[in-house]
Amino acid sequence: MSYLLRIDASDSGDASVSRQVADSFTAAWGGDVVRRDLALTPVGHLDAAGITARTTPADEHTPEQKAAALLQDELVEEFLGAEAYLFAVPLYNYSMPSVFKAWLDQIMIVGRTIGVAGGARSAGRPAVVVSARGGGYGPGAPQHGKDFLVPALRTVLGDPNLLALDVRSLTPELTYARTMDALRHLLPQHRASLEEAHAQARRQAAEITGRSGLPRSG
Ligand SMILES: Cc1cc2nc3c(=O)[nH]c(=O)nc-3n(C[C@H](O)[C@H](O)[C@H](O)COP(=O)(O)O)c2cc1C
């Protein structure tokens, strides 16, 4: 079975803008979806047992390494089994939510997902990052250049020597205009950015689903 792997990382539940835009994508997706909600069910941080399990023969694993290897196997299998990816990852402190970073650390494994002879198995698969943010980060904005999430994810997910995914990003911004008086005058820009992100999400889901070889329902 091939599927879209959707990973959510916002702590804001149904109120999350990243989740809402990802919902638009998912609704327009024509195939199966497997979901992992890291806010509801975080995966543990990579620890010493998890790191050493990677280079220790399985029959020599301690109980801690066994448990760590089991988790990594589950996450890697789920990752590699997908045909496409949807990452709903809001901007927290100029970077990614720690639950998402913990998940990445668990699946970036030399010889399995990255640094594989002949190239990553995930190479060329489409990936959409939806990252809502409170401020504005476009050209001319005071915060321009301070988004350290999208560039980091483009590297980790998209670099040909890493996961080599075909990464696109949607960044509905200025969500603070809804709640902060000082930014209220930016509501029209926020609404336009949000509308554009939903439209792009629908377009990209239809375009990716329409590629030959990707899953279709019915
Ligand atoms: C812990 C935390 C840190 C945040 N840091 C930033 C930030 O550095 N820059 C920013 O523009 N907005 C920041 N925000 C605001 C969020 O990016 C904004 O609320 C966004 O809508 C969250 O995405 P969501 O609606 O999908 O949950 C932060 C919010 C939280 C909860």
Ordered by start, the domain boundaries in the chain are: 3-210
Q: Which residues of the chain have pLDDT under 70?
A: 1, 212-218
Residue 12, ligand 1, Cβ within 6 A: yes
Q: Match domain 3-210 to its CATH number in 3.40.50.1700, 3.40.50.1980, 3.40.50.11890, 3.40.50.360.
A: 3.40.50.360
Helices (H), the chain: 17-28, 48-53, 63-80, 98-107, 150-158, 187-210
Q: What pLDDT, on a 0 to 100 scale, did the predictor assign at position 210?
A: 86
Nearest atom (ligand 1) to Cα of 20: 26
Q: Are strands 126-130 and 166-170 parallel, antiparallel or unpaired?
A: parallel
Indicate whether residue 97 lines ligand 1 (CB < 6 A).
no
pLDDT value of residue 58: 97
Q: What is the pLDDT of residues 124-159, one digit of tens each?
A: 999 999 999 999 999 999 999 999 999 999 999 999
Mutate to test the pocket of ligand 1, among 12, 25, 37, 91 (most ligand atoms within 8 A of CB): 91
Question: Which stretch of DSSP H or E encloses residue 171?
Answer: none
Confidence at residue 214, expressed as pLDDT on a 0 to 100 scale: 58
* pLDDT attached to residue 1: 56
Say yes or no: CB of residue 217 within 6 Å of ligand 1: no
Pocket test for ligand 1, best of 95, 137, 175, 198 (most atoms within 8 A of CB): 175
Q: What's the confidence (pLDDT) of residue 215? A: 52
pLDDT of residue 21: 99
Q: Is the dihedral of CA 24, 102, 144, 163 positive or negative?
A: negative
